[in-house]
Structure 1
Amino acid sequence: ALLVHAAAGGVGTAAVQLAHHLGAEVYGTASESKWDAVRELGVPAERIASSRTLEFAQTFAPGVDVVLNSLAGEFVDASLGLLRPGGRFIEMGKTDVRDPAGLPSVRYQNFDLTLLGPARTGEILAEIAALFARGALRLPPISTWDVRRAPDAFRYVAQARHIGKVVLTAPPALDPEGTVLVTGGTGALGALAARRLVTEHGVRHLVLASRRGPDADGAAALEAELTGLGATVTIAACDAADRDALAALLASIPAEHPLTGVVSTAGVLDDGMISSLTPERVEAVMRPKVTAAANLHELTADLDLAQFILYSGAAGILGSPGQGNYAAANTFLDALAQHRRARGLAATSLAWGLWSPQSGSGMTGHLDEADLSRLSRSGMGALGLEEGLGLFDRALSVDEAALVPIHLDLATLRAGAAKGFGHPLFRGLVRISTRRVLAAETPLGDSLTDRLAALPEAERAPMLLDLVRGHVAAVLGFAGPESVEPGRAFKDLGFDSLTAVELRNRLKAVAGLRLPVSLIFDYPNAAALAGHLLEELAPPAHSAEQQVLAELDRIEARLAVMAAECATAGEITARLEQLVFSWKERHQGAEAAVDDVAGQLSSATADEIISFIDSEFGLS
């Protein structure tokens, strides 16, 4: 009887099969999740037990003749107790080696392959090869890990999550004698990828496919340029979404230069709100991305490709208002890359961020300076040409199914996150420091409601209008609030769904109100929106005395903050003293005048009082 620890492991599966073939009673330990793998070896399931329990005595009674051990600690003690007198304990794991002299009743062997001579090793290997040839033994399951992920593979094995063998593989390289197919190859991004493949990755045979092929703008110049760089270039008119046409193109690739890589760059935009997307508009965006990628996957699935690059977009990862069809198409590409990786096929999906207009990308040609400025303020800038190409190079060397090459301004993201703005997926990339604020730094009554209450009613609406116009200008990238006409519709100013949400978030933060996402649609211009805020806030007005005291509170708080920073405060002190002197002078003068009038009235006759009223109020 043989007990094999880790019976579903690489050595364990071979030992279980061999012992079972020789007619021995085979027992094994394995986690419950691995029982199916051991069952496939032909070993009855009831002979498998979990090594997480020490109830070996009942599980493997009445004892075993041989223990093939890879455990340690208390499991070794329990296994030694299972051996019949004279039994053999073969130590394979060697993490808890015992002294054979202390085990007189068993034969303890700390096994090492170097103990066998070359002749005996040859005999064993020859016999094992014959057993495999006769079908008596089968190879254990094999899991492959790219060598660039070796730490993950070793962690996986250390956690005993594997079944059978774990093998590290070298990443395939683009064969200079092979052919790379670039779909959308005459477009701006396709041309950039083709040049980079030639200049940086040694590709010498290219097939550039697009719907217009040689008739595409700039196709002849691109072919001449790549040929001058030493590449053999074929520009073909082929719609990759047409399966038959694509199959014919792939069949035309010569056998002496077989297909070794695919780069799919094609894409079309047709933006619109979800309610405006018709089946035709969805199809227009899906066809060049989804249908073409699915065709490429299916028609090359049997080929040993070194690279299968899909140009996705960040819209599928981050979401993009007005691009529901485009986001869905990109998400499919990301999922397809994961699917291919799960099947052991090469695949990388690149969810590109925005490329700068200088790249020539048709995806950015409609953006003006205000659009680019707004994106920059969100922390997501446009990729420069060299930056984007550098990320392309990096992607070809990284073992990941999905990557997001995007230009991020971490300082801007950090500032936005501190104010509650920015995309939630980016908040984990920045660290926000919490700053302790002294009580004196936070002026009393500094909320928007208190600021309004301190103003005369006639000044409240203009103040809110200036506030709204300032935030509108900031969101849209205008020079200042004066660029925002109070009565001009937000949609005419250039608002879209994304900027509408940003404005709503800004006003929500400053006003402390629950504002709907549809805010700018409900109140379509700055004047209407300011009026709505006034209705929602509308605090009772402070008296003139309260307004002055509120201003003094703010001045006092500001002075408290500045006190530690001002090296010389003589001018400020002089101004404060002058204000106090002027106030007292006015106040004392008013009190004296009131006292004089009161004294005169107390001693005046009725005729004198009537005469006084007539002269003061102009009634005479």
Structure 2
Amino acid sequence: MLSGAAAQDSAASATGATPVAGTAASALIGVSVDPSAVPDSTAGAESSGSARRELVSATGSATQPGGDAATATAAVVDGSGASAASAGAAVGARHSASTVGGDSVIPPDSHDTVVILLPEMPAMDAPGALEAAAEFFANPTWLPDLAGVRDCWLVTVGGEQVTSGDPVPHQFHGAVTAGFRCLGMESLGVSFRRVDLAAGQADASRAAALVRAVHVKNEPELALRDGAVYAKRLEIDAVQRGPARDADLAHVVIVGGTGTLGVEFCAHYARSGAGRITLLSRSGETAEVTRRLRPIRALGDTPIIVESCDVTDADAVVELAERQEIPATVLVHAGVNYVRAELAEVTPEKFREMAGSKIYGTEHMLHTWPRTPDCRIVLCSSAAATFGGRGQILYATVNRMLDVLARRLRAAGVDAVAVQWGLWDLEGPLHAVGTGPVQAAGVTPMRAADALAVGFTDHADHSGAENRLVAAADWSDVQALMVAIGQGPLLDDVVAAAAESAVVQPDSPGSGHRDGNSPRIAGTPADGHRGTADSAAYPSGPDRVRATVAQGGTKAMTQFRAAAGQPGAAGGNSANLAERVRRQLGRVMGADADALDPSVPLVALGLDSLQALDFRKRVQVELDRDLPVAAILGGASLDDVVRLMAGSQA
């Protein structure tokens, strides 16, 4: 959420935890995405977003926690020329700023801050926004040489719904930030940040407030409203619903229904008593599909029909829709696609390939398929829309468009929800290109039963549900990587809540234990929040085990305290520490430790962000120390790292 106003990404609640070798248990959490920060009278369940965190007052006085107001040398980029008034006023508001536009080039090492202005745009649908995003990323003339740059800001307009009076997010401005965030992994040491202006207020009168906003230290996601600046946070979700009792499951239609996730969703709705399930896929019912559906069909009398239909083909959708006798009461888009591309590899064609089923197919289904007036729309998005990742510009942007689309549908009176899924313990398109980098970042595969419990049973099955992120991870590791690209504060509240939670041992009563490798989570919820019911207890009633968030942050916090001189800290002098750290670095990089120059920045030696996380884990396990990943990726040498670690011991 944007604490205080735009609750665009907030709240988390957890079910069971799965341990990862060498790390503390990770937790599967549900993060409610895009609730209004100022609770609507009809959205009492989302009231967790109502707390305000005002970083800059209406009069402009800074209250930056832990920050400073040091003047940066800023370059204001107005590539379109449409924001010339704001750009010029920004220069006037800060004498050390300069503005460039058109074909102008910013000299390397001439600025430490870059501010990229996007013009306010008219309303557009998802396909129109997709084309705008494709043009933006395929022709990045707006991005200067980043030599010497610490902060690169993107200024969007109406991309967040901050107050109850704000319109729903703009389809392009609300999604482009997800792809922009991914650039941080390509330019380590530069924080890619965003500030959102209110729709209709992207003029020169807001320039001074904008300049103040971009001088807020460390906050990656800000929104400027009426002179105040609000910061985004993920928070614990207090909402618990349990199985829906009044869901209309007369006809469930699943796009991508024969895919890995589609079949899991089919089984979920069959167990829930669906009257009819229609699965749409390009291939139709093959022998393999029949084999996979056989145990689901054996669950009961629910007819499961498989239709061959390419939803990216508008005519094919129309033809099949006209043959439907029963309108859809639930429409799920479970189509999954993954196209990897770093900025230099982005093309409009790749964007369209990525968006085929998710954007164009969704639009075709919404405009053509017969559905009841209160039909529930469930759009499957990805956690990449919130966290990003290297090579995920297309993937993150397109999935964020689904989140914004769901929000816009709700504003139009349609019962729509987007679920950002993390990594499933199932084979899928992402597995085809390798999940190693994702898991190295701390993300853990989710059991299907757990993911469905948090994402569907307790949330998307209920009318009026807001968007939610469902993922399992060692959240301290995820935050360590997010810190390295300037996004760490987003997870502050989640990690803090995890540190306060209690993990029940596998054999303890009420743990919901299923096997020796699966500890369940329980305990007194922090700050009055309730957790999500333990998925192992479904579909039972009042005796369900309650859970709170727990993950690797508990271990990480314990080790940080130990490294700071508390009992249990690893002993040894600095020379011994340096040698032990060097050995671990050599193992991570597959290099001769003695040949590594300790004075050279580790990134210059070839250490990437995922190796840095591996390095951190090894040091935690072998040395019982906490390693400053952000400093490593920010340009620290081995000597610097050892000094930082030794200093924390003092």
Query: Which range, TM-score by smaller chain?
Result: 0.3 to 0.5
* TM-score with structure 1 setting the length: 0.45
Greater C-alpha Rg: 1
* TM-score with structure 2 setting the length: 0.43
Instruction: Tell me which of the two structures has the higher relative contact order, counting C-alpha pairs closer than 8 angstroms and 6 or more residues apart.
Output: 2
Higher strand share: 2
Higher helix share: 1
